[in-house]
Amino acid sequence: MNKKIVILPGDGIGKEVTAEGKRVLQKVADVFDHSFVFEEAQIGHEAIEATGNPLPDESLMKLKDCDAILFGAVGHPKYDNDPTLKVRPEQGLLKMRKELGLYANLRPIKLFDELLGASSIKPEILKGSDILFFRELTGDVYFGEKGKKDDGNTAYDLMIYQRFEIERIAHKAFAAARTRKKKVVSVDKANVLESSRLWRQVVTEVGQHYPDVQLEHQFVDAAAMKLIQNPRSFDVVLTGNLFGDILTDEASQIAGSMGMLASASVGDTVGLYEPIHGSAHDITGQGIANPLASILSAALLLDISFGWKEESEMIIRAVEQALKKGYRTRDIRDAATDEKKILSTSEMGRVVRDEMERIAKTQWA
């Protein structure tokens, strides 16, 4: 099966971790006799330096003509404290989401048992947590009208949602809930925001098409608290762009580390897969970034875009095995970690591929 995958490493550790995600995809191709054509494209700070544009047309053309995308991260510290810079790496990511119609961001928060000790939350509270976030990705304050007035002394970003934007992601969340514990928590701020009141109304209406799925509404502040207080009380969480951005970073602590979390952005066309972590310039170039979020993103890619469950499952099991054998990157070590088993980015990638090889051999021996 010939599939074209665009690799979009981006900035900072994006490059380091995506290289490992790609190698794992190559390993899948070898083991299962698939063939992938990989193409690279530029985005973010790197693309600005090369072309002045955070998402050059050449990249966009490649993205529109492929079967799936594996993305790293964008960002650079030089922009973070300089609000005067007009062209910014993140614009490339936002434009890509909009242009490709990637309106649903799925962020599964699943804790590998081996990492129970790596989180700052107590193990007995965490154990068994398994949450699937549906974050809306192409609306909200991210894309509402923004601007400045009063000689730059007033600035605004409009929080705006249209019915069809809420409906389409709500359907996805309810449909997913049917395959899980049949429970959706929809998060908003309907006690204050008009856009949240529409959100709540539309989600309730969509929910009526799924009478077998239980729907609960929570305000975002309460949801933020409950996520840490009792993560097991959540199954599918449905929310808007901004609240979803914040809550999923928080929820990453339930999985031990940001370095573990993969995500899928889907809409009506091609799917994009990426770690939820950023470009992390503080550790760039040291070879210590955790590649598992990118590797698990590759697993999501095979499952969601290609429908290849077995291939996807093999990657997840290989990651599980690597963790079971005590291998860690720095971000997921705990008091029990054997210092000798703390691996670099590329070593962790190698260990996962070796485990895949082992699984393939025992399955078909």
Binding site for Mg ion (CB under 5 A): 245
Helix locations, the chain, DSSP H: 13-32, 45-51, 57-64, 77-80, 89-99, 123-126, 163-178, 194-207, 220-229, 241-251, 292-304, 309-324, 345-364
- Residue 93: contacted member of Mg ion, ligand IPM, none (CB under 5 to 8 Å, by partner type): ligand IPM
State the minimum distance, in angstroms, from the CB of residue 245 to Mg ion. Answer: 4
Contacts to ligand IPM from residues 266-295, by CB under 6 A: 276, 278
State the minimum distance, in angstroms, from the CB of residue 275 to Mg ion. Answer: 11
Please confirm, yes or no, whether 140 is among the known catalytic residues.
no
Q: Which of 16, 245, 303, 331 binds ligand IPM (CB under 6 A)?
A: 245
Q: Residue 11 or residue 245: which is nearer to Mg ion going by CB? A: 245
Q: What is the DSSP string of 290-340?
A: --HHHHHHHHHHHHHTT--HHHHHHHHHHHHHHHHTT-B-GGG--TT--GG
Q: Which of 67, 90, 157, 167 binds ligand IPM (CB under 6 A)?
A: 90
Please tell me whether residue 165 binds ligand IPM under the rule CB under 6 A. no
Please confirm, yes or no, whether 210 is among the known catalytic residues.
no
Q: How far apart are CA 241 and CA 223, in angstroms?
A: 15
Q: How far apart are CA 274 and CA 9, in angstroms?
A: 10
Q: How far apart are CA 236 and CA 350, in angstroms?
A: 33
Q: How far apart are CA 189 and CA 195, in angstroms?
A: 9
Q: Which of 47, 93, 118, 238 binds ligand IPM (CB under 6 A)?
A: 93
Please confirm, yes or no, whether 150 is among the known catalytic residues.
no
Please confirm, yes or no, whether 142 is among the known catalytic residues.
yes
State the minimum distance, in angstroms, from the CB of residue 245 to ligand IPM. Answer: 4
- How buried is residue 84: exposed, middle or buried, by Cβ count under 10 Å (0-12/13-18/19+)? exposed
Q: Residue 89 or residue 231: which is nearer to ligand IPM going by CB? A: 89
Please give the DSSP secondary-structure letter assigned to residue 29: H
Q: Residue 93 or residue 159: which is nearer to ligand IPM going by CB? A: 93
Q: How far apart are CA 23 and CA 17, in angstroms?
A: 10
Which of 30, 67, 157, 249 is flagged as catalytic? 249
Please confirm, yes or no, whether 79 is among the known catalytic residues.
no
Q: Residue 75 or residue 231: which is nearer to Mg ion going by CB? A: 75
- Residue 9: contacted member of Mg ion, ligand IPM, none (CB under 5 to 8 Å, by partner type): none
Contact call for residues 162 and 139 (beta carbons, < 8 A): yes
Question: What is the binding site for ligand IPM (CB under 6 A)?
Answer: 75, 90, 93, 245, 276, 278
Q: Which residues are catalytic?
A: 142, 189, 221, 245, 249
